[in-house]
Chain A
């Protein structure tokens, strides 16, 4: 039997544009509570915004799960964006930096990868997509 809460999670359904704002606010609340710096909070909620938007635009509905990971040696926040949408046919292409100077294009995934410490994506055409991103809390210098 587990001796203590190592993980804690919050599920956020994403079905409409209004849920994007809600997801950002929840993300901000959780990240700030965890002790992330204001800059890291901005990176996290920007990523959340992009992923939530992808769900609304391409899959119509899905969910965002915020997992608060307190375990050592690397405590941090995990965000899982999953949907049962059309899936991404060519992941490699989606992960290519297609940015021209006219700003973000496509799914914004390469950008999100730059913002976070870890990035993982699994997608199957006709089944859906799951994007998992992680941001670690800074190490404490003793």
Chain B
């Protein structure tokens, strides 16, 4: 049970988008006249628009047929938005359109370009029709322009937002791929951390480790911080949280390479070091981990002797 999303001309929370002026009867009548004209002239105007798009070398990633097809949909949406004054449907359409054309390599300037061209084509059509009556022309333009600008902006902004969303997705995927978590043995992961980490990186490492635990079905994780000179309390907290979260996924964490400095930081934030599984160095940590997993470490010479 939820109330329908408000349309674009409606509500404002932080005074960033003041509400549209309500339409009076006269303006409404003008708009109706305008819309009737746009609908009647539809086929020719769409033709003209498509021609100008191709002329301006926009949407080069698409074929002529594809351009015409999109031109028809966008034109209809445009006229719809002009008529209803509601931009929700247009927004949804813009997002849908963007989702389709971004993978095709269409750029922002192209989308802005084609929307402005449509605006021009329609404005010229109005000039052509009303050139004999300057007063009427001015009034019609008064009614047309705000809505037309709003539409241009809605479509362009929608495209940019969709593009940014795609970029974020890609950057997230790259981050996931570049995980420094190593699988050393079945069920055993090692996360060597080197250098100074800021809270953001600490968070990223935690996310990556948890995913790696799930994907590799790890039972033991060795986090080696030999290469970490110091940690502030925020990052230390993340370390503690990582240990706790790993346990929730069924994995035990062994921390190795804990310097006296960092040990002190942990104690300062209230960590009971006796409860944390720590080992002096990475080697020792791996041995401890192997023991936990049920492996026995046997020196090679002993094995070789047994083989004889």
Contacts and interface: CB of A to CB of B under 8 A. Distances in A.
Q: Do chains A and B touch in the complex (CB under 8 A)?
A: yes
A1 B2 contact: no
A11 B3 CA distance: 6
B18 A13 contact: no
A35 B153 contact: no
Interface string B152-172: 011011000100111111011
Contacts of A5: 8, 17, 87, 91, 154, 157
Contacts of B157: 4-5, 70
A9 B6 contact: yes
A59 interface: no
Interface string A129-141: 0000000011011
A141 B171 contact: yes
Contacts of A1: 18, 20-21, 146, 150
Interface in B74-99: 87, 91
Nearest to B175: A37
Interface string A6-20: 111111110000010
Interface in B1-53: 1-3, 5-6, 8, 11-14, 16-18, 20-21
A121 interface: no
A26 B20 CA distance: 28
B207 interface: yes
Contacts of A35: 164-166, 168-169
Contacts of A9: 5-6, 11, 13
A84 interface: no
A75 B161 CA distance: 10
A4 B155 CA distance: 9
B18 A137 contact: no
Contact of A140 (B3, B156, B171, B207): B171
B138 interface: no
A63 B101 CA distance: 37
B154 A26 contact: no
Given A1-B146, A13-B1, A141-B171, A7 B164 contact: no
24 contacts: A1-B150, A2-B16, A2-B17, A2-B150, A3-B149, A3-B150, A4-B150, A4-B154, A4-B156, A4-B157, A5-B17, A5-B87, A7-B12, A7-B13, A9-B11, A10-B3, A10-B5, A11-B2, A13-B2, A13-B3, A19-B1, A35-B165, A35-B169, A37-B168
